[in-house]
Amino acid sequence: MGLDLVGFSSRVLPTSVGYAADRRHVRAGAATSHGFFSWRSYPRATLKDGAVCSSEDGGGGGAESTLCVSAPSEDATRTGGVAADLGRDFADGITASQTSSAGRKKGGRLWRRPPGGDKPARATRRAPVRKDPRVRRVLVNDPDVNAILSGVSGESSIEECNSVLIRLEKHSDVKALDFFVWMKANGKLEGNADAYRLALQAIAWKEDWRRAELLLHEMVAVSGCRLDARAFNGLMYVCAKRRLADWGTKWFHMMLEREVQPNVSTFGMLTGLYQKTGSLKEAEFAFAKMRECNVKCVNAYSAMITLYTRSRLFVKSEEVITLMKDDGVAPNLENWLVQLNAYSQQGKMEEAELVLQSMEDGGVSPNVVAYNTVITGYGKVSEMQKAKEVFDRLVSSGLAPDETTYRSMIEGFGRADKHQEAISYYKKLKSSGFQPNASNFYTMINLIARHDDSESAAEILRDMRAAGCQCSSIVTILVRAYGTVGRMHKVLSILQSCFYKKVLYDATSCSILVTTFVQNSLLEEALRVLREKKWKDSDFEDNLYHILICSCKEAGSYEDAVRIYSQMPESRTHPNLRICCTMIDVFSTMERFTDAETLYLELKASACVLDMIAYSVIVRMYNKAGRPEDACSVLADMDKQKEIVPDKYLFLDMLRTYQKCGLLEKLTDTYYRILKSEVECDEAMYNCIINCCGPAIPVDELSRIFDEMIQLGHLASTVTLNVLLDIYGKAGLFNRAEKVFSMARKQGLADTISYNTIIAAYAQSGNFRSMNYFVQKMQDAGFPVSLEAYNCMLNAYGKSGQLEEFSAVLQKMRRARCDFDHYTYNIMMNIYGRKGWIEGVAYVLSELKSRGVEPDLYSYNTLIKAYGIAGMPEDAVKLMQEMRIKGINADRVTYTNLIAALQRNENFLEAVKWSLWMKQTGVVGVGARP
């Protein structure tokens, strides 16, 4: 790259200096020089024992200057029993009057003779220097340093000192910087830009950027040197070597701020650095600045083409190629190659061929890399005939194909789905002594799977194993390839022909194989591998079985899940909680509730401690089985474990369970528990709370929850709105009910139940006008008036004594051909009975029986009451006897109506008897009146 790349040059510098930095390595010693950047004027000075001493002090025991060089480096070698000390070396080589006696090894210790004494004094033990990995290390012998310094004195010229500094800089940055300090003390730096460049280079290798910045300032302000590109290039060279893009950018911008003209080396190093680090924006700025400065660096063009190609910005990479031609920059070999790569990556093979021809026309013989690039490009566009022609041209030109050539041919034929050709080049690769790479193996396995070549697949697998591929990685590639083409049933036989036993001893490989078999519905193969496996790891085995069972469950293959569970080895300690919970869920889905409950009882009897997930699964199982009472019992057991905190899903199950059991107090407690918990209420939670807890919490609190739900943007379901309608209607809050109903209509959620609910609310309150209004709205919405709505109207008109309207509703029902239900007949009998119209009651009863419908409990209760009102107590008693015969158990309302009928007709003794009989039978239930 030349001297400019390093950053310094002089007529006294040897030509090898430009490569000196490349021969150095990271040094462990850290230079500790301080303060030498701020000197202004210096007396004549020499070095004594590592200290800079003024010649005015006579060099002897006078006061030493406080400006000291660094302490001796820890890596100074010991030769001939002498502790090599850089400061002492300077003293030995520069001033003869300040020589030190040679050290001698005595008793394993180092000794030196002090001035003015005969007895040897023990050398002071120096504290170890902390190693700095950023500093380069080169082993250097003390005699070499002494030889370099032997001809230097305070009278030496600047050129001679620079020559010594260069030679020291080759050996050690620390020693070079120490000598630089000595040069400063002896006035050798005035106008000496070369010395500053060397010092900057040495400091850069230590990455002491603050010192470098101060030294640049001192170079101009103190020593009167002129800054040029070479001073900054030395810093940027280190940044480029160590990929320090941020610092390289900083030095470049400082260079521009100080109006220093960059040169070819500057832009070559910077763009090369940005290419390595992928800093595209910084590279674009540097490239634009290069063209602005009219500097032509072919390496910069190459770096920009490479950066754009890697970023797949192919249009920009082609623009750089065009700019290069416009700027008249002649390509070198590297530039030809990056142009080839830019076109080949896009599949623009005509342009790539033109570049290849231009290389030959320009006198540059294409090398193997060029041919490989073109072959790869043809492979990307699956033009393998052209790729083969390029391969033949490579051979005919006298070049030998390398491993990249063969690998590219394999990849290209694999992409083109050329089975035999890919195998042919695969064998050529091996016969040439090269090793297939991971991409080749992957390509070959996928190609062989598509062409169902089991024999070749076994050979490839053996090669992968011989190349050191992990067994699990091989199995993964194999099952993916054969699974993609739907040939998973071939995998087991292929493995058996090569290293099936290795798979059986490897838990990871077994799990990959078995899991893939299960996912592809090859249960027999999976169970076979599980039976034949050789590894022992109970925890890993449990996890594997759990994964397999979950895979079957997610795929809806519940029978397969049961078969896998049945093959599980029995646990020697206690059942696996996760597996048992999953199987309870599977059995519940299959409606095998007995098996699910058996598993739960086994868990309960074992030492397993059920957690929140287990309780959630078990509660859901009992709810699916239609046994909410057992689910409540499970929740009671859960409440005993105070450390269990339900999640959102368990809270939902709890609310639904308590609602089915009618446990309003539990619903209230759960609701306030949810409010205190950290569970975030979502749309499902809000709907469930309103649906389940509506009757259990105050109406105002219910309204607050509903308003909060709407404000958060959640949508209420039809069921939620109907629950609100029912609660507001029964509470007489008709304004709120109508707002909810209006919301349901606007959102298209109002159904028949919505209309029935609001009609029933107005009917119960006796607001016949609103009742009829919503009946009409129901018809306008396209819903036929339902039987439930007619029943509400009948009951409301009947109880209010409006018999004409009552009869009119009955006529409408008959015209609409409504099928009367028990509730309809009970209403009619109740109204006729209240009026004492026993004939009407008898007619209704006969009509009920004519339709093949027997009276129910509520019908009998109504008839008994009607007979009492009509003065027919004997018939009422007969109805009691008829109920016994039909097996209908009387409730408290039955006995109350009968006793009232007897008392109304002055049969007091009989009434007392029935009252005593009611107490003896222990009737405590309350039947609902129609």
pLDDT single digits (tens) 117-156:
333 344 334 444 444 444 443 444 555 677 777 778 888 8
The DSSP 8-state label assigned to residue 921 in this structure reads H
Give the span between the Cα atoms of 868 and 865, in whole angstroms.
5
Give which of 409, 451, 461 is closest to 434, Cα–Cα. 409
Give the span between the Cα atoms of 7 and 833, in whole angstroms.
119
| Angular region, 608: left φ>0, alpha ψ -120 to 50, beta rest | beta
Which has more confidence, 481 or 880? 481
Tens digit of pLDDT for each residue in 772-797?
Answer: 999 999 999 999 989 999 989 988 98
330 class by beta-carbon count within 10 Å (0-12 exposed, 13-18 middle, 19+ buried): exposed
For 119, other C-beta atoms within 10 Å of its C-beta total: 7
User: Given a cut of 80, is residue 731 above it in pLDDT?
Assistant: yes
What per-residue confidence (pLDDT) applies to 119?
A: 38
Lowest mean pLDDT among 26-40, 489-503, 649-663, 822-836: 26-40
Tally of domains within the chain = 1
Q: What burial letters (b/e) apply to 311-329, b meaning 16+ CB within 10 Å?
A: eeebebbbebbeebeeeee
Token pair of 392 as six digits: 């033949």
Cα–Cα distance list, 156 to 149, 164, 538 (Å): 11, 11, 82
User: Helix H segments across 625-751?
Assistant: 628-639, 648-661, 664-676, 683-693, 699-711, 718-730, 734-746
Residues 236, 252 contacting (CB under 8 angstroms): yes
Residue with tokens 């900083």: 250
Give the span between the Cα atoms of 431 and 798, in whole angstroms.
104
Token pair of 122 as six digits: 């023990």
Q: What is the CATH number of the domain that holds 789?
A: 1.25.40.10
| Residue 845 is assigned to a structural domain of this protein | yes
Give which of 44, 236, 73 is closest to 142, Cα–Cα. 73
Token pair of 767 as six digits: 């607001």
| Residue 324 is assigned to a structural domain of this protein | no
| Residue 123 is assigned to a structural domain of this protein | no
Give which of 662, 655, 600, 649 is closest to 625, Cα–Cα. 600
Residues 698, 670 contacting (CB under 8 angstroms): no
Tens digit of pLDDT for each residue in 30-86?
Answer: 333 333 333 333 333 333 333 333 333 333 333 333 222 333 333 333 333 322 333
| Residue 883 is assigned to a structural domain of this protein | yes
User: Given a cut of 50, is residue 698 above it in pLDDT?
Assistant: yes
Give the span between the Cα atoms of 42 and 63, in whole angstroms.
16
| Residue 304 is assigned to a structural domain of this protein | no
Residues 370, 334 contacting (CB under 8 angstroms): no
Q: Return mean pLDDT, the chain.
A: 82
> Going along 56-211, which residue ranges are E strands?
78-79, 82-83, 104-106, 109-112, 121-122
User: Given a cut of 50, is residue 177 above it in pLDDT?
Assistant: yes
Domain ranges, residue 826 = 722-921
Residues 404, 438 contacting (CB under 8 angstroms): no
Which has more confidence, 513 or 122? 513
**Above pLDDT 90, what percent of the chain?**
57
- Specify the DSSP element, H or E, that contains 797: helix 787-799
pLDDT mean over 428-445: 94
Give which of 587, 639, 580, 590 is closest to 614, Cα–Cα. 580
Tens digit of pLDDT for each residue in 220-254?
Answer: 998 899 999 999 999 999 999 999 999 999 999 99
Tens digit of pLDDT for each residue in 389-409?
Answer: 999 999 999 999 999 999 999
What per-residue confidence (pLDDT) applies to 41?
A: 34
What per-residue confidence (pLDDT) applies to 879?
A: 81
Give the span between the Cα atoms of 541 and 479, in whole angstroms.
21
- Specify the DSSP element, H or E, that contains 45: strand 45-48
Token pair of 574 as six digits: 């206690």
Tens digit of pLDDT for each residue in 273-324?
Answer: 999 999 999 999 999 999 999 999 999 999 999 999 999 999 999 999 999 9
Which has more confidence, 570 or 295? 295
What per-residue confidence (pLDDT) applies to 86?
A: 35
Lowest mean pLDDT among 78-87, 453-462, 463-472: 78-87
User: Given a cut of 80, is residue 160 above it in pLDDT?
Assistant: yes
In sequence order, the β-bridge partners of residue 54 are: 45
Give the span between the Cα atoms of 147 and 93, in whole angstroms.
8
For 879, other C-beta atoms within 10 Å of its C-beta total: 23
What per-residue confidence (pLDDT) applies to 69?
A: 31
| Residue 605 is assigned to a structural domain of this protein | no
User: Helix H segments across 452-576?
Assistant: 454-466, 471-484, 491-496, 500-505, 507-519, 523-532, 538-554, 558-567
Cα–Cα distance list, 572 to 14, 569, 653, 814 (Å): 81, 9, 34, 72
User: Given a cut of 70, is residue 20 above it in pLDDT?
Assistant: no
The DSSP 8-state label assigned to residue 57 in this structure reads G
What per-residue confidence (pLDDT) applies to 859?
A: 82
| Residue 763 is assigned to a structural domain of this protein | yes
Give the span between the Cα atoms of 42 and 906, in whole angstroms.
140
Backbone angles phi, psi at 45, to 5 degrees: -145, 160
Tens digit of pLDDT for each residue in 579-600?
Answer: 999 999 999 999 999 999 999 9
Lowest mean pLDDT among 601-605, 611-615, 749-753, 864-868: 864-868
Torsion angle, alpha carbons of 748, 753, 759, 763, to 10: -160
pLDDT mean over 919-925: 65
pLDDT mean over 888-905: 84
What per-residue confidence (pLDDT) applies to 441?
A: 95
Residues 742, 776 contacting (CB under 8 angstroms): no
| Residue 378 is assigned to a structural domain of this protein | no
